[in-house]
Amino acid sequence: MAQMKELANKIESAYSIVVLTGAGVSTASGIPDFRSSQGVWTYDRSREYYMSSEYFYKDPVDFWAKYKDIFRLKLLKNYEPNSVHTFLRNLELSGKQVSIITQNVDGLHATAGNEDIIEYHGNLNTATCPHCQSKYALEYVMKHETPYCDKTGCGDVLKPDIVLFGDPITKHEEAEQRIRQSELVLVMGTSLLVTPFNILPDYAAFTCGLPMAIMNREATPKDYLFDFVIHDDLVGVVKHLSAWM
């Protein structure tokens, strides 16, 4: 508890905060954690192949069937931000500059009201035509078993706006820029197993020399980098932090 109170003081005294978030932030909203020791990918590694750019171009019809099932798209609009999202929004409302760099593709940080969000792995709420770059909302995607571009003369199968396995990461430099501009880095709800997202804490520690805290239910391979290490349920963690701020 002493560490938690010290961290609360650190957060309260900082103006510019970068928060790196992962699936553990959204589990209280009912969204599965894909990367924990109990996560979806742990039990079926073939899903990584089916959710790859290679498989999308090989068999886009079957890709969409599996994609909608794995990411539970029918339920996406039923999910709401939880107290962890609200905690981060409240930091912003208190006058702090809060930048969120998230692995999550559910869009819940935006729904909660945070304004500066880097969706490192994209977003489930839209899809784009690879040919003409027309963008479509989730409502359109869900109306069609396999969503095609409806623009005249096009008709390509839409590609979801998430980073599939094999796709390039386009947000890394932007994420590093936010870290350089911050006073404090919080890492919440991520196992830090996915590259290159998991090298962002190294950048913050070794290049920028920033104070950092990690809050995750389980230990991670990067815990040694952090000044504060808290292994607990995030809902309980933010409740305690809020009480001391």
Residues tagged in the binding site annotation for Zn(2+)? 129, 132, 149, 154
- 121 part of the active site: yes
- What's the half-sphere exposure (Cβ side, CA atoms, 13 Å) at 197? 23
Q: Name the active-site residue from 109, 121, 231, 240.
A: 121
Closest by Cα among 108, 90, 83 to 235: 83
Q: Looking up tokens 């899903």, which residue turns up?
A: 47
21 contacts: CB under 8 Å, gap ≥ 6: 88, 100, 101, 102, 103, 104, 109, 187, 188, 189, 190
Closest by Cα among 230, 219, 187 to 205: 187
Q: Which residues are annotated as a binding site?
A: 129, 132, 149, 154
57 contacts: CB under 8 Å, gap ≥ 6: none
Identify each DSSP E strand in the chain by its residue range: 16-21, 97-102, 116-119, 122-128, 135-137, 159-162, 184-188, 212-216, 228-231
> Which pair of structure tokens corresponds to residue 204?
């913050």
Closest by Cα among 124, 88, 117, 120 to 197: 120
Backbone angles phi, psi at 11, to 5 degrees: -65, -40
Q: Which residues are catalytic?
A: 121
